[in-house]
């Protein structure tokens, strides 16, 4: 009995041990089968600089490239610069655009100088779709009327102008591109006082020099040219006019009447053609009373051609100087036959150097 009981105990132990070993094996298989490790992966992508794909400098928004840029006298004139930019890392990486317009020989690093080197910055970039592809930019540079001309005949005709575009990405990397060169056209323009007042004078008197102020509204220095439109008529009863040649002009403030230059009376011309006579009767300047009535087709009508007097005033531009100058006029009153208030007119022309 005892022997049978011991064997039963051993069998139970064997079964228990077997079950335990089996359970351990199953546990080991379970652990090896379902255990996972998470591996993190990292990579650094080097930033690539952005690119300016195109640059167009134009007279109109989105227009074609300009060859000769025309300024506006006395004002600013817009130059439109536009094109496309891109970034290998995606156009969402683009940050802003800057534009510099300059006389090409000065280089893109030129110091900001109105009329030679001007710029705008922090321009927006538009049209980046989906984060990839290129995008658009557009900017306006206002060029002053005194911007240095580079066309034929100007002092800087050997040079030209350029527009450079710089694009910056969010990491600060930059790309650049320059437009096709173009020229800035010359412009001759001025503003002058519209009235000369010689004051109250006695017969036989000669005025001191009276200044006429000139302002250069163009980009070329100019000389001064004046044309008399005839004698100064007086409103006194039976008064004679003051002859045109009694009006003198000079470049110097300290000058005498004898040292100054006399205005030249207009030269009378007679055109015998009937068609010319009809035109002349319609409004050309005349200095004699018998020309006030319209002639018939067979009348020979004299008309007058102004004779210019030119002085080397060399009125500077805003770029080369102050942009202003003065011309001085002197008037001599005849010793007799003059009465009342006398007035006349003349034409003033800027002759570019």
The answer to whether position 154 is within a domain reads: yes
Do 127 and 150 lie in one domain? The reply is yes
The answer to whether position 41 is within a domain reads: no
CA angle, 13 then 19 then 24, to 5°: 125
The predicted pLDDT at position 287 comes to 41
First-last CA distance in the chain: 143
**Hey, which residues does 153 pair with through a beta bridge?**
none
- The helix/strand/coil state of 179 is coil
214 Cβ neighbours under 8 A, 6+ residues apart? 190, 191, 192, 224, 313, 315, 324, 325, 326, 327
Do 113 and 198 lie in one domain? The reply is no
Strands 183-184 and 68-69: parallel
pLDDT digits (tens, 9 = 90+) for 65-81: 999 999 999 999 999 99
Question: H-helix or E-strand containing 268?
Answer: strand 264-271
The answer to whether position 15 is within a domain reads: no
The answer to whether position 292 is within a domain reads: yes
Question: H-helix or E-strand containing 103?
Answer: strand 94-103
8 Å CB contact between 227 and 349: yes
131 Cβ neighbours under 8 A, 6+ residues apart? 90, 91, 92
The answer to whether position 34 is within a domain reads: no
Do 344 and 197 lie in one domain? The reply is yes
8 Å CB contact between 352 and 151: no
Residue after which a domain boundary falls, among 152, 184, 216: 184
Q: Could you tell me the CATH number of the domain that includes residue 161?
A: 2.60.40.10
- In 3D space, the residue among 156, 146, 180 whose CA is nearest the CA of residue 76 turns out to be 146
The answer to whether position 35 is within a domain reads: no
- In 3D space, the residue among 229, 232, 227, 264 whose CA is nearest the CA of residue 349 turns out to be 227
The predicted pLDDT at position 130 comes to 73
pLDDT digits (tens, 9 = 90+) for 283-338: 444 443 333 344 454 566 778 898 999 999 999 999 999 999 999 999 999 999 99
Give the domain extent around 266.
Answer: 190-352
Residue after which a domain boundary falls, among 184, 215, 235: 184
Do 109 and 219 lie in one domain? The reply is no
The predicted pLDDT at position 53 comes to 97
> How many CB atoms neighbour CB 35 within 10 A?
7
Distance CA 81, CA 94 (A): 18
- Distance, C-alpha 313 to centroid of its chain: 26
Do 167 and 247 lie in one domain? The reply is no
Distance CA 341, CA 334 (A): 14
CA angle, 293 then 299 then 305, to 5°: 75
Please determine, for residue 54, whether its predicted confidence score (pLDDT) is greater than 90: yes
User: Per the structure, how many domains does the chain have?
Assistant: 2
pLDDT digits (tens, 9 = 90+) for 178-236: 999 999 999 999 999 999 999 999 999 999 999 999 999 999 999 999 999 999 999 99
Do 104 and 197 lie in one domain? The reply is no
Six-digit token pair at 268?
Answer: 């009378």
- Distance, C-alpha 175 to centroid of its chain: 25
> How many CB atoms neighbour CB 28 within 10 A?
10
Question: To the nearest whole number, what is the mean pLDDT of the chain?
Answer: 86
Of residues 90 and 270, the one with the higher pLDDT is 90
The answer to whether position 4 is within a domain reads: no
Do 195 and 172 lie in one domain? The reply is no
8 Å CB contact between 160 and 181: yes
Do 174 and 197 lie in one domain? The reply is no
Do 153 and 217 lie in one domain? The reply is no
Do 237 and 279 lie in one domain? The reply is yes
The answer to whether position 25 is within a domain reads: no
Distance CA 181, CA 57 (A): 9
Do 159 and 255 lie in one domain? The reply is no
Distance CA 231, CA 75 (A): 36
Residue after which a domain boundary falls, among 184, 203, 230: 184
Q: In angstroms, how far apart are the furthest CA atoms of the chain?
A: 177
Do 150 and 235 lie in one domain? The reply is no
CA angle, 79 then 85 then 88, to 5°: 165
CA angle, 205 then 327 then 144, to 5°: 155
């Amino acid at each position: 009995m005892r022997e049978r009981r011991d064997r039963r105990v051993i069998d139970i132990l064997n079964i228990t041990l077997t079950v335990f070993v089996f359970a351990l094996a199953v546990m080991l298989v379970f652990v090896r089968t379902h255990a996972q490790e998470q591996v993190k992966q990292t990579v650094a992508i080097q930033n690539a600089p952005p690119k300016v794909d195109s640059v167009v400098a134009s007279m109109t928004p989105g227009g074609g490239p300009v060859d000769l840029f025309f300024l506006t006298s006395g004002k600013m004139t817009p130059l439109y610069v536009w094109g496309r930019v891109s970034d290998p890392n995606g156009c969402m990486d683009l940050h802003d655009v800057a534009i510099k317009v300059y006389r090409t020989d000065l280089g893109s690093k030129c110091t900001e100088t109105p009329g030679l080197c001007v710029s705008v910055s922090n321009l927006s970039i538009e049209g980046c779709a989906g984060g990839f592809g290129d995008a658009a930019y557009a900017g306006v540079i206002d060029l002053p009327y005194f911007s240095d001309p580079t066309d034929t005949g100007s002092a800087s005709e050997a040079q030209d102008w350029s527009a450079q575009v710089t694009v910056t990405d969010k990491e600060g990397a930059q790309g650049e591109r320059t437009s096709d060169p173009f020229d800035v056209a010359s412009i001759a323009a001025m503003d002058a006082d519209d009235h000369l007042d010689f004051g109250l004078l006695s017969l036989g008197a000669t005025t001191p020099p009276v200044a006429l102020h000139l302002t250069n509204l163009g980009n070329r220095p100019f000389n001064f040219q004046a044309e008399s439109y005839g004698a100064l008529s007086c409103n006194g009863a039976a008064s004679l006019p003051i002859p045109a040649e009694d009006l003198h002009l000079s470049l110097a403030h300290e000058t005498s009447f004898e040292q100054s230059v006399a205005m030249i009376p207009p030269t009378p011309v007679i055109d015998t053609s009937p068609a010319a006579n009809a035109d002349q009767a319609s409004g050309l300047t005349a200095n004699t009373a018998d020309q006030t009535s319209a002639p018939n087709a067979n009348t020979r009508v004299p008309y007058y051609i102004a004779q210019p007097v030119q002085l080397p005033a060399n009125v500077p531009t805003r770029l080369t100087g102050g942009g202003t100058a003065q011309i001085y006029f002197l008037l001599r009153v005849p010793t007799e036959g003059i009465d009342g208030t006398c007035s006349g007119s003349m034409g003033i022309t800027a002759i570019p150097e």
